[in-house]
Structure 1
Amino acid sequence: MSTDPNPSPGSDTPVPTCYRHPGRETYVRCTRCDRYICPECMRDAAVGHQCVECVAEGNKNVRRARTVLGGRAPESATPVVTYSLIGICVLVYLAELASWKVVEDFMMLGVAVGREGRLVGVAEGEPYRLFTSMFLHQRPSGGSFGITHILFNMWALWAIGPELERVLGRWRFVALYVLSGLGGSVLLYLVEPGSAAVGASGAIFGLFGAFFIIGRKFGGQVGPIVFLLVINLVITFAVPGISWQGHIGGLVTGALLAVAYAYAPAKQRQLIHIAAPVVTLVLFAILVMVKTADLTAGVA
């Protein structure tokens, strides 16, 4: 920090002011650009203080920390993506409670006759259902689980989402979650297009699979996730009304993406991390188009 001595009384020397706030008197200068700065514009530096512009310029040359998988470490420890996904699911659930139409219009459905007597579903020009269904859950009076459906899924997301988001980085985590959810919807569409389904379970199972693969890769404790996964697979096949296609499709998708994330060679890591989700999405699109063509063949 450099300062100017106080001018002697009666001196005609003008009092220096902050370069960003001309009305504020100051005798402190930025140690980098030597401009006068007021307390609001001061930023602590290794020696003295710097102005906000010099600090911003210096930060441009600082390399961001990377996760073990090569993703950019979040600037904040808060798992923003995980909390945002939970928030979206909760808001959508409140919309469901307000109107059944939210479920009817956005649940996963391959093809069926709607209330108005017309065909509805993915095969009838509504492919968005493959995506929107992963944010819907059973209403309190719906099916075997009711409100416990969203409670369990959100608990699972809250429990393992932050750690995966920290290890993968945000965009990889988003890709893993969304593609796992889509994987469940696509498998249901391929195997049983007349069945309806809602829930984030496909995406959650994808996180389970990814957590196991990445944990094994880096020597983490995978026993608890294996136990949780086995219990949920037993429930999936033992309890009527659960879409096993959604769970298995999400699990397989999440595990395969995690393999690409965790085992990509260091030199090709960035390329593979981008290519794997893109190839997965293209594959899903092709499968959906082929199934749609099959379902609509011969329909006028």
Structure 2
Amino acid sequence: MTLALLMASIALLLAAGALHLWWSVAARQQQRAAALHAETRLAPAAAGKPGNASPAVVAVPRQRWAELLRRAGLDDGRRMLVVLALPGFVLPVAAGMRLGSAWFGVLTLLLYALGLGLWLQRRIEKTRQRLVAQMPDFLENMVRMAGIGNSLSMAFQSATQNVTPPLRPILDSALGYTRAGMDLDRALLQAAQAWRLQPLEMLSVILGTSIRIGGRSDQILQRMSDFMRDMEEVQRELQATTSETRMSAWVLGLLPVLSALFMALLNPDFFQPMFHEPLGRKILLLAVALEAVGAFVLYRLAKSI
């Protein structure tokens, strides 16, 4: 029975990985098409000027994990991938040997994958908040540059020089695409595609409209900057108001899992019937299902506030 449960868990993990890869095929194909377009634009310039270096274009990540690590503010090299994946092999093996059950090793692997996913999501969310917080100052710098007679393209390039990471690499990528022959609005949209930030998409629309049609884009950028500052202040007040509720949801959701894991590692004999007896396995599966449902309900309650 334990072997059957182990094989079923592995099959579910492989199916989930296959679905994730299938869903990300379209995004990867679009990224490869953009990279190929940039390379074809760069090729004539490099052939005409062999003594000069080609324009600096940030390479589009070809692998999903590299993009994920970069969005989380981590190094996208193989060393970081090994550091994150190594506990996923060591902890399940150690836990399975400790309790003498491969099923507990699978549960440990799932818990580690869940914890790693939540940690990466938290880092990505913090990086997104920093990106949004940098946008008003960048827009105001663009307004000042455009107010003294510069075009939007020149104002964008000048304002980029005063920006710090994590927004700076995105803007540098957009400038690299423009040097390859792409329009500024499309270059910005392509550079910010992985982040899916609405302010950058709005800025791309404003730049495209101003370049092709004209108008007082500086006023629109100023109003957008003021609106983003007001939104940031409202979000901070909302987070401060709901912080106690969200923390309570985290504690209630993680306390049963951490308590069961601690008790199982401290006294393996206590949990042996849960893995070797038919009734114990049913109770264990029921507890996992109830924990999943409870965590989902707490998540929805915390998100609805």
Task: Please report the TM-score for the alignment, with normalisation by the length of structure 2.
Answer: 0.29
Name the larger-Rg structure: 1
Task: Please report the TM-score for the alignment, with normalisation by the length of structure 1.
Answer: 0.30
Greater percentage in strand? 1
Greater percentage in helix? 2
Query: With CA pairs under 8 Å and 6+ residues apart, which has the higher RCO, 1 or 2?
Result: 2
